[in-house]
Amino acid sequence: MLGAIRLRPGSFHHHLVARKHKRVQSKRTLLIALSLTAMVDMFAVLVIFLLQSFSASPELIVTKGIELPKAISGGEIREAPVLALVNGELFLDQELIGAVGATLRAPKELMARLKAVREGWQKDYPEKEFPGEINLQADQSIPSTVIGQVMGIVSQAHYYSIQLAVLAKGSK
């Protein structure tokens, strides 16, 4: 019943109401199909972006204020703790250890922190042997003798694979 008029199958009013409902239903279906298509396209673009932006090799975070030396050759970065020498200070995984000179005279703090990192790794991977890898970032203005002394301390802490962070010759 529409208002006071009773709708009978086959009447003109019944035809108009049925036609209006059919039009509304087809618009709804069309809008749902378009929304679903746009959403699928958006997810496809998102997946392509994520696949291109992430690589299989880990990325090394360069400590703020450090200017790495340039090198002609280099290798792929392996994931390991990062020891950085910058502006006369020493950082282990972005945490300040102290001044480089003081650490070279009394390396107790550095040795303790390196031991804690090694023990944490051994606790997380009890079935594996400790690889003894560390990434060393040193500002290009630091003398090689200082870097050699730091490498000596690091090797005493059972980190025998020291990777020096450098920039490729053509990069900025």
Q: What is the pLDDT of residues 62-111, one digit of tens each?
A: 667 677 777 777 777 778 888 888 888 888 888 888 888 888 888 898 89
Q: What are phi and psi of 150, to 5 degrees?
A: -65, -40
Our CA angle for 153, 155, 157, nearest 5°, is 75
Are 87 and 125 in the same domain?
Answer: yes
The answer to whether the predicted template modeling score (pTM) of the entire model surpasses 0.85 is: no
* Structural domain span for residue 2: 1-54
pLDDT at 36: 73
Are 80 and 137 in the same domain?
Answer: yes
| Residue 33: pLDDT over 70 | no
Q: Which of 141, 148, 146 is nearest to 162 (CA)?
A: 148
Number of domains forming the structure of the chain? 2
- Tell whether 59 is covered by a domain: no
